[in-house]
Amino acid sequence: MGACSEFPGRPNILIVDDDQSILTYTKILLGTGNYAVETALGGEEAIQKIQTRTPDLMLLDMSMPTPDGLQTLEACKKLVPEQRVLMMSCDSDPAKVSAALRLGALDYITKPIYKAELEATVKRCLSPTPECEVPVLHFTASTETEYIDDLENDLSFLAACPVMKQLRAQCSVVAKVDVPILLLGESGVGKEIVARLIHKLSPRANKPFLKVNCAALPAELLESELFGYEAGAFTGAVRGKPGKFEQANNGTLLLDELGEMSAPLQAKLLHVLQDGEFCRLGGRSNVTTNVRVLAATNIDMKKAIRRKTFREDLFYRLNAFTMKIPPLRERREEIPFLVKHLMVKFSAKYSQEPLTYSNALIDACQRYHWPGNVRELGNFIKRYLVFRDEQLIVSELEQRSKVSVIAKTAKPAPQPRTAAPTRTSSSLKSLVHSSTVRTELKALEEALKVTDWNRKLAAAHLGISYKALLNKLKRYQLAPPHSLKKVS
């Protein structure tokens, strides 16, 4: 498909609707905007037309007889994958809008259509880089506040690769539709940033945005945090307290690490999503709430459903629209831009001048696999601002890479053959256990050696928690040489 910047003439627009009066009206609206406008009466005619000529933009009605808008969209996208499509709808049916976005629609507009809104939306969709996509490295004050960095609201979003630009475009569209959204991705990829962006672009932007980490609290405390409690509900409850569902009324609530929520709480959450009401702990009457729920998790939800640790009905209730944020290692082309962006952000936050850096730092960052994703990259930049020594932090980054490689490639040493044991099953079990111990011990020793016994760094790159590493050191009775001071 040709973007409008690639065509010196007027952009060509194809309007598709089953109502001739709507076609005529919309054509008149766009005809004054220096566009070449064609029409198609229904989905079949539209599909036939794009096989001979691809329009710069298709305005497609959602509610048509077979093939309806979604079927026509899917067929057109198969014929011309790069076809830009703007959906038109008499209502904002969340299910239909979500389906259209999944199929590749850029945006949607609600009927009745008004000239100013139509022209603005069409202009945005025809732009070579749609305005809903963040311009790379345009760090002007207005752009940074609106799209990239809003320190007051803890919002930072930069899209410098196709997959993140598509994600940003999805955020701008799905923000308008008041449905739950499930955010998937590894720890540190920016799920909370995406959630805050959706809230800021939504009609609820001037209402509260609250976050609850479902993994940070025991089930009993999490229930009171979400739903509140009445005076006397438990020992120490001298007065009632509203929960997050009350505090975020008419706003947005982010349930982070949702996969860690207990089964009883999942049932109560399902009730709130279905009926919009709940009961405080110790309460006798229901409380009504109007909250948009965004949920984030880094676990495999389908596996959790199979293991019966997460309710399938709750998953489908939350899964009106799913957004998967890719890990940083799958969008390495963004790293140079993120480094610059984070340098500007953190130097301003800490009242410092941004530090310069060489290509060697960028090369080291692009080689590293970033298990902690953007959060780890941000900590790396903070560390550079503290130590102000590029060679030091690049060296540390290279050490981390070595530790990671060692942990992944460590293999047990070959063992000499011995006589066949008399009890095969128990001996095989012992052999497997012994092999596992040797592999684990070697990986631990190598990781600690490369990091000069920096236990936190070694734990991070072995992919285990700091507490787990300490337990293993105790189990294997590993201690640093006398010449080294223990580093925690």
- Please report whether residue 402 resides in a domain: no
- Please report whether residue 397 resides in a domain: no
> Which residue segment(s) compose the domain that 198 sits in?
142-232+240-324
Contact call for residues 403 and 458 (beta carbons, < 8 A): yes
pLDDT digits (tens, 9 = 90+) for 119-173: 888 888 887 644 433 333 232 222 332 333 443 444 567 777 888 888 888 888 8
Q: Which of 324, 355, 378 is the last residue of a domain?
A: 324
Q: Which CATH number covers residue 421?
A: 1.10.10
**Same structural domain, 158 and 187:** yes
DSSP-assigned letters across all residues of 401-426: HHHHHHHHH--PPP----PPPS-HHH
CA 407/CA 59 separation, integer angstroms: 53
- Please report whether residue 32 resides in a domain: yes
Predicted local confidence at residue 60, as pLDDT: 94
User: Which segment of 80-89, 118-127, 348-357, 427-436 scores lowest on mean pLDDT?
Assistant: 427-436
b/e per residue 244-259 (b: at least 16 CB within 10 A): bbbebbebbbbbbbbb
CA 11/CA 177 separation, integer angstroms: 29
Q: How many CB atoms lie within 10 A of CB 83?
A: 21
Average pLDDT over residues 13-34: 87
b/e per residue 281-291 (b: at least 16 CB within 10 A): beeeeebebeb
Structural domains in the chain (count):
4
- Please report whether residue 132 resides in a domain: no
Q: Which of 324, 340, 371 is the last residue of a domain?
A: 324
Q: In this structure, what token pair is assigned to residue 106? A: 């850029």
Q: Which of 126, 160, 176 is the last residue of a domain?
A: 126
Predicted local confidence at residue 410, as pLDDT: 56
**Same structural domain, 312 and 378:** no
Q: Which CATH number covers residue 373?
A: 1.10.8.60
pLDDT digits (tens, 9 = 90+) for 375-394: 999 999 999 999 999 999 99
**Same structural domain, 350 and 257:** no
**Same structural domain, 351 and 383:** yes
**Same structural domain, 269 and 174:** yes
**Same structural domain, 346 and 304:** no
CA 112/CA 125 separation, integer angstroms: 19
- Please report whether residue 400 resides in a domain: no
Q: Which CATH number covers residue 58?
A: 3.40.50.2300
pLDDT digits (tens, 9 = 90+) for 274-305: 999 999 988 888 999 999 999 999 999 989 99
pLDDT exceeding 90 applies to what percent of the chain? 40
- Please report whether residue 137 resides in a domain: no
**Same structural domain, 15 and 147:** no
- Please report whether residue 404 resides in a domain: no
**Same structural domain, 204 and 287:** yes
This prediction's pTM: 0.62
